[in-house]
């Protein structure tokens, strides 16, 4: 009888000591080749198409992790902008975050290029945030700062101080001029305004 209880006690210890695999810290992800997704507004208009040759989907957090991202932004049925980057994420199908060699290129108007190392956008809003070595170029001007916000509705880019700029009409060998105020560049009428909060406009340039 004592042998039976000893054997029962030993089996109980073995059962209690054995644990199943710990899944609490594991992430459930799905590898997706040739990722291609269209995102639409609430009224059915296409906002963007986002593509990546290599990606994975974090199902637990609803995040797509994307490599070598390519994004087309639409105006009506026309592709208005092309955005590329080294990698990025799409969270909850509405938050776009890009990192590394971000380049935003105009497709419908005169060649405008906006580059940075970081890009963030809520697709339900009209403002893009760009940070870290932001550079805007077209045929007439080059502007650079460490942070900028582009408003897609107004086509105005706000560059946060200090801002460096250079007109292409000037001697190509001349250096940049530096302003200690924010700069506002209007893509449509090619005007550049330097101002700061609480002050009237100090200078306004047209090209």
Structure tokens at 87: 């990698």
What is the pLDDT, as a whole number, of residue 25?
47
Non-local (6+) Cβ contacts of 102 within 8 A are: 83, 84, 85, 115, 116, 117, 118, 119, 130
Tell me what pLDDT residue 4 has. Answer: 46
Tens-digit pLDDT profile for residues 16-75? 444 444 444 455 678 888 999 999 988 889 999 999 999 999 999 999 999 999 999 998
DSSP code at position 41: -
For the chain, give the percent of residues with pLDDT over 90.
55
pTM value? 0.79
18-44 burial by CB neighbour count: b if 16+ within 10 A, else e?
eeeeeeeeeeebeebeebeeebeeeee
The answer to whether residues 73 and 96 touch, using CB atoms and an 8 Å cutoff, is: no
- Give the pLDDT of residue 6: 47
């Amino acid at each position: 009888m004592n042998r039976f209880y000893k054997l029962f006690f030993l089996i109980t210890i073995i059962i209690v000591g054995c644990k199943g695999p710990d899944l609490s810290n594991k992430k459930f992800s799905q590898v997706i080749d040739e990722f291609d997704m269209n995102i639409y507004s609430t009224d059915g208009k296409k906002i963007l198409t986002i593509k990546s040759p290599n990606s994975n989907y974090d199902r637990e957090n609803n995040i797509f992790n994307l490599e070598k991202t390519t994004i087309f932004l639409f105006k009506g049925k026309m592709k208005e902008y092309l955005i590329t980057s080294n990698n990025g994420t799409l969270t909850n199908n509405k938050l776009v975050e890009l990192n590394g060699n971000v380049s935003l290129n105009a497709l419908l108007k005169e060649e405008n290029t906006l580059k940075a190392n970081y890009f963030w956008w809520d697709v339900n809003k009209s403002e893009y945030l760009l940070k870290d070595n932001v550079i805007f170029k077209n045929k007439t001007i080059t502007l650079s700062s460490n942070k900028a916000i582009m408003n897609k509705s107004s086509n105005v880019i706000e560059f946060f101080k200090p801002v460096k700029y250079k007109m292409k009409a000037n001697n190509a060998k001349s250096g940049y001029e530096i302003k200690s105020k924010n700069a506002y560049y209007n893509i449509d009428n090619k005007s550049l305004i330097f101002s700061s909060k609480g002050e009237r406009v100090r200078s306004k340039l047209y090209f």
